Amino acid sequence: LFVRVDTQANAPSLGRVATAFLGALSPALRTLDTGARAVAGRTSLNLTPLAVCALSASAASPRTNAALLPAVELLEYGFRRGVAYNLLKLNPHGPAAEHFVLNPLGQPGVVGSSLQVGESSVLPFVCSGTVLYPRIGGAQVHVHRPFPAALWPAFNARFNLHAGSGCHPVTAPPDTNIRAYPNTATNWWMTNTPDAPSALSTGNPLLSVADPESNATPPAVGSYGPLWSFGKAVKYSSVKPAGGYVPFATSDWTKLYPASPAAPAAKPGYPATPPYQTLAYQMAPTGNTGVAQRRLLHIALLACPVPAGSDVLAQVRGIGRFFMTAPASNGVLSAEFDGLVAEGALAGPAELLQ
């Protein structure tokens, strides 16, 4: 994680420098023996200081739907790709939502001070989507429950909504595409308009309507939210294919997302590239320079249930990549799951430390 360059132990001749003017003061200063030491490394992760429960303990498992056999859908820690979740309304072990601050200033394996997880301390890290430690590895992390309701506006800097967010557009720029999904455009890619920008969460355990495998009582068609705005559902394979998991086709929606009175359907013009990357479904920010994929949130998925208490250590099962489908509101953070990401891919920029 760090690199040190130290020339002080080199042979003196390698560090010998001829001076331009010091020799006029003394012949002994006509040459100097020099050496230096510098340390650089990565001190941050591009990880949002919000943590939620993994919906299962398995990094990759099949979701069986009889209508799809022999193909089965991939679940990653219980999440379905292409489905938007309300990250503030999930709990695989009970009816009450569980969500946490991931201490952005602490060190893995240590419960930090209450100041480190206070709203004023956490705010700038929600704006930037970073935490100030270089790695987690297998260590436990300090989490604080619940994630403060007052911090939801900070997520909306990604939509160029900086007023009242506490974020600055230089350190928390908008995305290059700030269009919310769903929208009222005539070229909307689904035959129906979803009821909300994420799937409805309900029940005990508290899951989205897209999660239960039983289709005994199909949910309402609009309750799935927008589908496949950033990526597609993919087929399960016991070994991840070298070229990535194989995606389903939009013609599979009726089998993937059963609903009443009919399943949601994609229009024939569903784009070859995900809507987020397609010009017809984009809107550029005005007044501030956008940064591509700022709407992506990298979220720690915890082994739950997490021990009781407001400040505890929790185990991170993995890191999920979620795409914000629309601006957040009080109690609602709608984000489409787009698979897992390796921690090493989230390392922040290298910095000179000494």
Lowest pLDDT segment from 87-91, 143-147, 210-214, 296-300? 210-214
In tens, the pLDDT along 163-215 reads 999 999 999 999 999 999 998 777 899 999 999 999 999 999 999 999 998 76
CA pair distance 346, 65, nearest whole angstrom: 34
Helices (H), the chain: 119-128, 152-155, 253-256
Q: Under DSSP, is residue 131 helix (H, G, I), strand (E, B) or coil?
A: strand
In the prediction, which pLDDT does 8 show? 84
Confidence of residue 72 (pLDDT cuts 50, 70, 90): very high
Confidence of residue 33 (pLDDT cuts 50, 70, 90): confident
Assigned token pair, 202: 């309900």
| Reported pTM | 0.91
Mean pLDDT, residues 104-128: 96
Confidence of residue 130 (pLDDT cuts 50, 70, 90): very high
DSSP character string of 284-314: --SSS--BTTTTEEEEEEE-SSPPSSSEEEE
Lowest pLDDT segment from 178-182, 215-219, 313-317? 215-219
Mean pLDDT, residues 334-349: 95
Q: Do residues 126 and 117 make contact, with C-beta atoms less than 8 angstroms apart?
A: no
The pairing of beta strand 334-340 with beta strand 311-324: antiparallel
In the prediction, which pLDDT does 13 show? 83
In the prediction, which pLDDT does 215 show? 64
Per domain, the residue ranges of the chain are 2-42, 50-348
- Count CB-CB contacts under 10 A for residue 80: 24
